[in-house]
Amino acid sequence: MLADIGSAIALVLTWQALLWITIGYSLGALLGAIPGLTGILGIALLLPLSFYLPPWVAIPMLVAIAKGSSFGCNIPAILLNTPGTPAAAATCIDGHKLALQGKGSKALKVNLYAGLCGDLFSDIVLILSAGLLAQLALRFGPAEYAAIMLFSLTVVGAVSTGAVTKGIMGAALGVLLGMVGTDMITGVARLDFGVLELTGGINMIALMIGLLSLAEIFLQAERLLSHKHSDGIRRETIPQSSHPDDSRITREDWPLVIKATAIGSLIGTAIGVLPGIGQSVAAFVGYGEARRFSSKPERFGTGTVEGVAAPEAAASAVNGANMIPLLALGIPGDVTAAVLLGALLIQGLAPGPLLFEEHRVTVFALFAGMMLTNLIHVPVGLLFIRAATFITRIKLSHMLPVIFILCVAGTFALNNSLFDVFVLVVAGFFGALLRKGGFAPVTIVIGFILGPLLENSVRQALLISQGRYLTFLERPISLLFIVLTLVSVVGSVVHARRANRRRGTRAESPATSNLQ
Amino acid sequence: MAVSERKSAMIWAAAWFVGACFIYFVAIPIGIEEPSYATQSPALFPRVMAVTFGTLAVVLFVLEWRGFHTRNIENISPWFFVAPAVAAIYALLLEPIGFLITTGCALAALLLIFGERRPSTILIVSGVTAIGVHTIFVYLLHIPLP
pLDDT digit string (tens) for A432-483?
998 888 888 888 888 888 888 889 889 999 889 888 888 899 998 899 889 9
pLDDT score for B6? 79
Q: What is the pLDDT of residues A134-157, one digit of tens each?
A: 777 778 889 988 888 888 887 777
Q: What are the chain B neighbours of A516 within 8 Å (beta carbons)? A: 2, 75
pLDDT at A440: 82
Q: B28–A183: do the CB atoms touch at under 8 Å?
A: no
What is the tens place of the pLDDT at every residue in A397-426?
888 888 889 889 888 887 888 999 999 999
Whether B111 has its CB under 8 Å from any CB of chain A: the answer is: yes
Q: What is the mean pLDDT of residues A83-87?
A: 80
Distance of CA A152 to the CA centre of its chain: 13
Interface contact B143-A413, CB threshold 8 A: yes
In A, which residues are within 8 Å of B84 by CB distance?
Answer: 218, 425, 428-429, 432
Nearest CA-CA distance, residue B109 and chain A, Å: 9
Average pLDDT of chain B to the nearest whole number = 86
pLDDT category at A161 given cuts 50, 70, 90 is low
Spatial separation of the C-alpha atoms in residues B127 and B121, rounded to whole Å: 10
pLDDT digits (tens, 9 = 90+) for B42-54: 888 899 999 999 9
Q: How far is B46 from chain A (nearest CA, A)?
A: 6
The string of pLDDT tens digits covering residues A309-365 is 999 999 999 988 888 878 877 777 777 777 788 888 878 888 877 777 778 888 888
Give the burial string for B125-146 (b: 16+ CB within 10 Å, else e): bbeebbeebbeebeeebebebb
Q: Does B122 touch chain A (CB under 8 A)?
A: no
Q: What percent of chain B has pLDDT over 70?
A: 95
Query: Of B9, B37, B84, which has the smallest distance from its Cβ to A218's Cβ?
Result: B84
Residue partners of A115: CB distance under 8 A and separation at least 6? A67, A70, A71, A74, A312, A313, A315, A316, A377, A381
Query: Is the predicted ipTM greater than 0.85, yes or no?
Result: yes
Are A179 and B49 in contact (CB < 8 Å)?
yes
Mean pLDDT of A171-183: 90
Q: How far apart are CA A176 and CA A451, in angstroms?
A: 8
Of the candidates B144, B106, B79, the one whose C-alpha atom is nearest the C-alpha of residue A227 is B79
Q: How far apart are CA A392 and CA A239, in angstroms?
A: 7
> What is the distance between the alpha carbons of residues A298 and A292, in angstroms, rounded to a whole number?
10
Q: What is the mean pLDDT of residues B111-136?
A: 89
- Where residue A159 falls among pLDDT bands split at 50, 70, 90? low
Identify which has the larger pLDDT, A161 or A388.
Answer: A388
| Minimum Cα–Cα distance from A447: chain B residue | B49
Burial of B64 (0-12, 13-18, 19+ CB in 10 A): buried
Q: From the list B5, B60, B144, which residue is nearest A165 (CB)?
A: B60
A461 to chain B, minimum CA–CA distance in Å? 12
The answer to whether residue A213 scores a pLDDT higher than 50 is yes
Contact between A344 and A337 under an 8 Å Cβ cutoff? The reply is no
The closest CB to that of A173, out of B4, B53, B141, belongs to B53
The confidence score (pLDDT) of residue A436 equals: 86
Partners of residue A221 in chain B, C-beta under 8 Å: 79, 82-83, 110, 113-114
Q: Which pLDDT score is estimated for A516?
A: 27
Q: Hey, are the CB atoms on A191 and B45 less than 8 Å from each other?
A: no
Span A19-47, average pLDDT? 82
CB within 8 Å of chain A, chain B residues 9-48: 9, 12, 16, 23, 27-28, 30-35, 37-40, 42-43, 45-46
Determine how many CB atoms are found less than 10 A away from the CB of residue A416. 11
pLDDT value of position B130: 92
CB nearest to B76's CB, from A220, A436, A455: A436
Chain A interface includes B59 (CB < 8 A): yes
Give the start-to-end residue ranges of the domains of chain B: 5-65, 78-140
Asked if the Cβ–Cβ distance from B12 to A463 is below 8 Å, we say: no
In this prediction, residue A232 has a pLDDT band, given cuts at 50, 70 and 90, of very low
Nearest-by-Cβ selection for A402 from B30, B40, B129? B129
Q: Give contacts of B110 with chain A, Cβ < 8 Å.
A: 221, 400-401, 404
Contact A410, A72 (CB under 8 A): no
CB B146 within 8 A of CB B95: yes
pTM: 0.79
Contact B146 A418 (CB under 8 A): yes
The whole-number pLDDT of residue B1 equals 42
Provide the pLDDT for residue A162. Answer: 58
Residue A420: closest CA among chain B residues belongs to which residue? B91
Q: Give start and end residues of each alpha helix (H) in A210-304.
A: 215-225, 253-273, 279-292
Q: Does residue B116 belong to the interface with chain A, where contact is any CB pair within 8 Å?
A: yes
Taken in order A270, A272, A273, A276, the sign of the CA dihedral is positive
Which of the pair, A267 or A493, is modelled with greater confidence?
Answer: A267
Distances from the Cα of A479 to the Cα of A147, A154, A272, A487, B20, angstroms: 8, 16, 21, 12, 32
Query: What is the pLDDT of chain A when averaged over all its residues?
Result: 83
Predicted local distance difference test score (pLDDT) of residue A512: 34
Distance from CA of A131 to the nearest CA of B (A): 37
Residues of A in contact with B91 (CB under 8 A): 408, 418, 421-422, 424-425
Instruction: Find how far residue A127's CA is from the centre of its chain.
Output: 23
pLDDT digits (tens, 9 = 90+) for A260-297: 999 999 999 988 888 777 888 899 889 989 998 888 88
Share of chain A above pLDDT 90, in %: 17
- What DSSP string runs through A408-475? HHHHHHHHT-HHHHHHHHHHHHHHHHHHHTT--HHHHHHHHHHHHHHHHHHHHHHHHTTT-TTHHHHS
pLDDT-derived band at A505 (thresholds 50, 70, 90) equals low
Q: Which residue of A176, A413, A432 is in closest CB contact with B49?
A: A176
List Cβ neighbours of A171 (8 Å cut-off, separation of 6 or more). A153, A156, A443, A444, A446, A447, A450, A451
List the single residue in A168, A191, A409 with the smallest CB-CB distance to B46: A191
Phi, psi of A254, rounded to the nearest 5 degrees: -55, -45
Contact yes or no for B12 and A437 at CB 8 A: yes
Q: Which residue of A has its CA nearest to B26?
A: A191
Question: Which residue in chain A has the smallest CA separation from B109?
Answer: A401
**Residue of chain B whose alpha carbon sits nearest to that of A504:** B68
The predicted model gives B54-64 an average pLDDT of 88
What pLDDT score does B22 carry? 93
A158-176 as b/e, with b when 16 or more CB fall inside 10 Å? bbbbbbbbbbbbbbbbbbb
8 Å CB contact of A220 and B9: no
User: Residue A438 and residue B70: Cβ atoms within 8 Å?
Assistant: yes
